[in-house]
Amino acid sequence: MKLILLTVTVLLLVVGEGTADRILSRRTKRELASPLHVGGIRDPFGSYCQRRGGCCPGRDDLCTVPYLDTICYCDLFCNRTVSDCCPDFWGHCLGVQPPFIGM
């Protein structure tokens, strides 16, 4: 009986750990967005966040502007990774030069 209980406990731990890994490894659609800046695709003269009327604090999935065939963000969360910030985010929202992205 103890062997069966031990086996069940071990199986539950293994299954639970695998489930936790899958949950933690999920990425949202926003995190999977194709990087706008890879390969130097920028519009340095675009005023996306400025035209939008400003920047948004924190994460705001509605703080977007159309950009090429996708959207870009003007919220502070986009600064977590440079993949989905609008080209003028750093200059307009933060007052700094955009980061250099090497290949």
Phi, psi of 35 (to 5 degrees): -60, 130
Total length of the chain: 103
Cross-strand partners of 67: 70
The single-letter code of the amino acid at 94 is L
* CA quadruple 74, 77, 81, 85: dihedral, nearest 10: -10
Higher pLDDT, 53 or 4: 53
- Structural domain boundaries of the chain? 36-94
pLDDT of residue 63: 95
Q: What is the mean pLDDT of the chain?
A: 72
Distance in angstroms (rounded) separating the CA atoms of residues 8 and 3? 9
Question: Global pTM?
Answer: 0.56
| Bridging pattern class, strands 64-67 and 70-73 | antiparallel
